[in-house]
Every structure is written in C-alpha cells, then in structure tokens.
Amino acid sequence: MNDKEKRTENSESTDDRSAIAKAVDKASMIISACLAMVVPAVLGYFADNYLGTNLVFTLVGFFVGIISGGWLLYRLVQTLAKQD
C-alpha cells in the first residue's frame, strides 16, 4: 500500500462527523457541480445581449459549463466510490 492510499484510508476511517454533516457535504458538491454547469451559460447569455452577438458567448459558456460540471461530477462519483 502506497502513502496516498494510507492517507486516504486514514482520513476516511477518522471521519466521525454526523450523518447530517456528511449529507450537507455531498449536497454542497452537487450544488457546486450544478452551478458550474449553469453559471457560464448565463454569463454568456448576458455577454451576448450586451455585445449584440448572436449565441456566440452563450454556446461557449454552455460548453465550458458542461466540461467543468462534468469534471466536478466525476470527482464526486470518485469520492463516493472510495467511501463504499
């Protein structure tokens, strides 16, 4: 077992938080992923309206949001898989 696995194992075994605290932690990760998907597209929409462009920044924001939100969801799934 390498050092990283030992640290991960030790940090999980010492997690003595209540069930509510663990649930709030998971919920905050999910909310962060959702916001990471939505906020760039909304900012792109407002940039398009301000600059008079037609869906350029909205589409860029959409794809940036999908990539960043997908990455955060991937990390969330990895975290959940390690805990099981």
* 50-76 pLDDT, tens digit each: 999 999 999 999 999 999 999 999 998
Domain extents for the chain?
33-84
Of 70, 68, 52, 71, nearest in space to 60 by CA: 68
Confidence of residue 1 (pLDDT cuts 50, 70, 90): low
pLDDT in tens, 13-56: 577 889 999 899 989 999 999 999 999 999 999 999 999 999 99
pTM (global) more than 0.75: no
d(CA 65, CA 51): 20
Tokens representing residue 13 in the block: 């075994």
Is pLDDT at 10 greater than 60 in this prediction? Answer: no
d(CA 15, CA 26): 14
